[in-house]
Homo-oligomer: A and B are copies of this chain.
Amino acid sequence: MKIGKLAVLLATLDEEELAPFEKQLEDVEFCLGRAGSMNMQKVISAVETAAKRQQIISEEVYRETHSLYHAILEALEGVTRGQIAIGDMMRTVGLKFAVVRGKPYDRNGEGEWIAVAFYGTIGAPVKGLEHETMGLGINHI
């Protein structure tokens, strides 16, 4: 079961398009959300809050927050393509995100991993002056 692929599909597809993947989604925990902002802090915060509220990660355990945080940052590298301080660059993002938690390896001891995917648009803060963007981050949890 590939948590990264599932996260990408969850962030990219609408409900109808997701139907063929429903069975694979039964093996993982996941949550969805949206974040639209010129400010990367707000995007990070939206993902962390969603993942905690929907109990994908435990609010009590720092190592889970740490794992999620680095997975978010890695996914944002894809979204911003090396310009992670993008909020300062006059760009607005309109993103759908997915967080998926599961066991992608068969070997004993590999345990749980987390995937964060973003898909949406990035561009000037004017409708139409934007193009698609996406990113995926993976971490052990």
Interfacial residues, chain A to chain B (CB-CB below 8 A): 2-5, 8-9, 12, 17, 20-21, 39-41, 44-45, 58, 60-63, 65-67, 69-70, 73-74, 77-79, 81-85, 87-90, 104-105, 107, 109-111, 113, 115, 119, 123-124, 128-138, 140
Q: How far is the CA of A97 from the CA of B130 in the complex (A)?
A: 23
Q: How far is the CA of A2 from the CA of B45 in the complex (A)?
A: 28
Contacts of A65 in B (CB 8 A): 124, 129
Contacts of A60 in B (CB 8 A): 107, 109
Give the most central of A63, A85, A119, A130: most B CB within 10 Å.
A63
Q: Are B8 and A119 interface neighbours, CB within 8 A?
A: yes
Total copies of this chain within the assembly: 6
